[in-house]
Amino acid sequence: MELEPISVALKFGFLAVLYLFLLWVARSALKDLRRGAEPAYSGPSADYDEGATGMYSASTPMARDIGRPKLRVDIAAGLAAGSAYDLSEGALLGRGDQADIRLEDGFASSKHARLTPQGDVMVLEDLGSTNGTYLNEEPLRGPQPLHAGDKIRIGDSVFSYER
């Protein structure tokens, strides 16, 4: 019996089965990607997502129990004194369009400072502004964790941190 054709058929059969199997698995992987994160399975606080790694969404849900961190306006041109901004997702302060909290202050840079929640601490960071950021009337050097009641001054605008 001549087995050569069977041998060739088996070779291509092997490859065909392999690739059909891989396609089937890949199809479901693609479906997963299109659907995004499956909400039914996501973590306890996955409704906000910071960063590509999704790591921060997995951090302690304690931050919410303490109370939402807020930035209250003490004096600022163009902003109502006494109003407060929610900081649970962080905020960018500056004069530019991308800023979450727009400062109409001549001494403010377009991207002046950033507030970033890290776990249950809020970190204030100067983004290389021209005139600097002051924390409790001391110039900010490097990122600093904030405590409730801290005063942040940028130019002539003053804010206080609350939580």
Partner 1 sequence: MSARNRELLALIPASLLVTLGFAAIFIQRNELLSNVSLTYGGIFLGLCFVAHLVIRFTLPYADPYLFPLVAVLACFGLVVIYRIDDVLARDQAQWFVIGLIAFVATIFLLRDFRVLERYRYTIALAGLALLLLPRVPGIGQQVNGAYLGVGIGPVSFQPAELGKIAIVIFLAAYLRDTRQVLVQGSRRFLGVTIPPFKHLGPLLVVWGAAMFMLVFIRDLGSSLMYFGAFLALIYVATNRLSFVVIGLGMFAAGAYFFASTVGHVQDRIDVWLNPFAPGLYDAEGGSYQIANGMFAMADGGLFGRGLGAAVLRVPDGGPLIPAPETDMIYAVIVNDLGLVGGLGVIATYMLIAERGFKIATLAADSFSKLLATGLTAVMALQVFVIVGGVTRVIPLTGVTLPFVSYGGSSIVANFILLALLLLISNRARTPA
Residue 10 or residue 75: which is nearer to partner 1 going by CB?
A: 10
Residue 144, strand partner residues: 124
Q: CA of 148: how far to CAs of 36, 59, 84, 96, 159, in Å? A: 37, 21, 14, 27, 12
Question: How many other CB atoms are there within 10 angstroms of residue 67's CB atom?
Answer: 11
Residue 127 or residue 158: which is nearer to partner 1 going by CB?
A: 127
Residue 9 or residue 77: which is nearer to partner 1 going by CB?
A: 9
Q: CA of 54: how far to CAs of 49, 92, 139, in Å? A: 6, 20, 33
Q: Which stretch binds partner 1 (CB under 8 A): 21-29, 62-70, 84-92, 96-104?
A: 21-29
Query: Which x/- pattern over 66-105 shows residues binding partner 1 (rule: CB under 8 A)?
Result: ----------------------------------------
Question: Please, are residues 162 and 69 in contact by the beta-carbon 8 Å criterion?
Answer: yes
Spatial separation of the C-alpha atoms in residues 16 and 151, rounded to whole Å: 68
What is the smallest separation between the CB atom of 99 and partner 1, expressed in angstroms?
A: 16
Question: Which tokens hold the place of 58?
Answer: 């997995």
Among 52, 97, 98, 138, binds partner 1 (CB under 8 A): 52
Among 74, 84, 100, 123, binds partner 1 (CB under 8 A): 123
The three-state secondary structure class of 158 is strand
Residues that bind partner 1 (CB under 8 A): 1, 3, 6-8, 10-15, 17-22, 24-26, 28-29, 32, 37-38, 40-44, 46, 50-56, 58-59, 118-119, 121, 123, 127-128, 142-143, 145
